[in-house]
């Protein structure tokens, strides 16, 4: 293998919350072919977890058993491939996709500027921001299966919903082709600038967080329900409900994953008691408790 295999690698430095125990094994592929070759070597029953920028992710303090594949800085190819079509590999940060499309006069991907993860993560959960959703601009995807074989898939082969994508079990997203409308470079860049300014004003972008913790219930907002329940600023250990945006939990400096998970559960309980709605988590919680 040409990539790097790390054993008992602490994951806190790879997650946007800056918490998490070790990965039993972490593989950082050299390139796409190296990734395919590596996956072919794994035992059939090996647990495999993919990680990009580590946002929308809570790794518990006991860490992750099996193999973590880290695509940060890898699988980063992005290119125009036709009229309004952009090929993007899974490791490309969503914000880079938004800028690239805008710079090439393509409209419809601006919302990706507000998603703090990679294209792979966005495909996995149908990530959205500012009214846009990832799968709304997907023409097709490439996946890799447990045998290291690359496959072409169409959107109709998946069941796509709000923050949910199901289908192609035992496969992981490698890349996507996005289909966009012809637009205006200046207009796209101005839209992205406004979206980012709004994000900076309304979200705690200067503190470690995972992005939005809870899904918005139908016809309502999780942040409103949490704020109405008097939970802004509520803390457990080093984890705190953001004063700036109630659907964010921030690490004030010394939070553990256990602190964050306890606070998530507490918020759910309080909102259900006070508002009659059980909030569903958007964040992916993985690994073992200590």
Structural domains in the chain, sorted by start: 4-70 (3.30.43.10), 78-201 (3.30.465.10), 222-286 (3.90.78.10)
Decide if 171 is catalytic.
no
Phi/psi-derived region of residue 250, left when phi > 0, alpha when psi is between -120 and 50, beta in every other case: beta
The catalytic position among 110, 142, 261, 282 is: 282
The residues, ordered by sequence, that sit 6+ positions from 206 with a Cβ below 8 Å of its Cβ are none
Q: State the DSSP code for 1.
A: -
CA angle 26, 210, 117 (to 5 degrees): 65
8 A C-beta contact, residue 100 and residue 178: no
Q: Is the pLDDT of residue 290 over 90?
A: no
Stretch 75-82: mean pLDDT: 95
HEC string of 2-63 equals CCEEEEEEECHHHCCCCCCCEEEEEEECCCHHHHHHHHHHCCCCCCEEEECCCCCEEECCCC
The catalytic position among 9, 99, 163, 242 is: 163
Percent of the chain surpassing pLDDT 70: 100
Q: How far is CA 120 from the centre of its chain?
A: 8
The angle, 0 to 180 degrees and rounded to 10, between the axes of the packed helices 94-103 and 185-202 is 150
Both tokens of residue 30? 């050299």
Q: Is the pLDDT of residue 55 over 90?
A: yes
pLDDT digits (tens, 9 = 90+) for 83-95: 999 999 999 999 9
Query: Residue 112 and residue 130: Cα distance in Å, rounded?
Result: 9
pLDDT digits (tens, 9 = 90+) for 5-49: 999 999 999 999 999 999 999 999 999 999 999 999 999 889 999
Neighbours of 263 (CB within 10 A): 22
Whole-number pLDDT of residue 266:
98
Q: In what order do the strands lie in the sheet with 171-179?
A: 78-82, 85-89, 171-179, 138-145, 150-153
Stretch 156-168: mean pLDDT: 94
Task: Give the mean pLDDT of the chain.
Answer: 95
3-class DSSP assignment, residue 188: helix
Parallel, antiparallel or unpaired: strands 138-145 and 150-153 = antiparallel
3-class DSSP assignment, residue 274: helix
Decide if 282 is catalytic.
yes
Query: Residue 259 and residue 152: Cα distance in Å, rounded?
Result: 41
The catalytic position among 209, 212, 229, 242 is: 212
The pair phi, psi for residue 20, each rounded to 5°, is: 130, 140
pLDDT digits (tens, 9 = 90+) for 228-238: 999 999 999 99
Half-sphere exposure of 165 (CA within 13 A, CB side): 25
Q: Strand pairing partners for 161?
A: 164
Q: Is the pLDDT of residue 98 over 90?
A: yes
């Amino acid at each position: 293998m040409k990539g790097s295999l790390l054993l008992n690698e602490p994951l806190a430095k790879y997650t946007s919350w800056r918490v998490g125990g070790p990965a039993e094994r972490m593989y950082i592929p050299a390139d796409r072919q190296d990734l395919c070759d590596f996956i072919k070597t794994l035992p059939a029953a090996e647990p495999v977890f993919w990680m990009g920028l580590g946002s929308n992710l809570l790794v518990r303090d006991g860490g992750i058993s099996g193999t973590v594949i880290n695509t940060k800085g890898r699988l980063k190819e992005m290119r125009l491939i036709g009229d309004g079509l952009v090929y993007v590999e899974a490791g490309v940060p969503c914000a880079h996709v938004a800028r690239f499309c805008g710079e090439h006069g393509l409209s419809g991907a601006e919302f990706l500027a507000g998603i703090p993860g990679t294209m792979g993560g966005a495909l996995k959960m149908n990530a959205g921001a500012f009214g846009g959703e990832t799968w709304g601009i997907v023409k097709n995807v490439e996946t890799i299966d447990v045998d290291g074989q690359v496959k072409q898939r169409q959107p109709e082969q998946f069941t796509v919903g709000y923050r949910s994508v199901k289908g192609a079990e035992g496969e992981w997203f490698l890349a996507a082709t996005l289909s966009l409308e012809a637009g205006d470079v200046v207009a796209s860049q101005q839209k992205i600038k406004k979206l980012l300014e709004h994000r900076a004003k309304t979200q705690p972008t200067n503190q470690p967080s995972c992005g939005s913790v809870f899904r918005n219930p139908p016809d309502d907002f999780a942040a409103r329900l949490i704020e109405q329940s008097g939970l802004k600023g509520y803390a457990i250990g080093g984890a705190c409900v953001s004063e700036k945006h109630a659907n964010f939990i921030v690490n004030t400096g010394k939070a553990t994953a256990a602190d964050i998970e306890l606070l998530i559960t507490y918020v759910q309980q309080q909102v259900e008691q006070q508002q009659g709605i059980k909030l569903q988590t958007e964040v992916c919680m993985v690994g073992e408790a200590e």
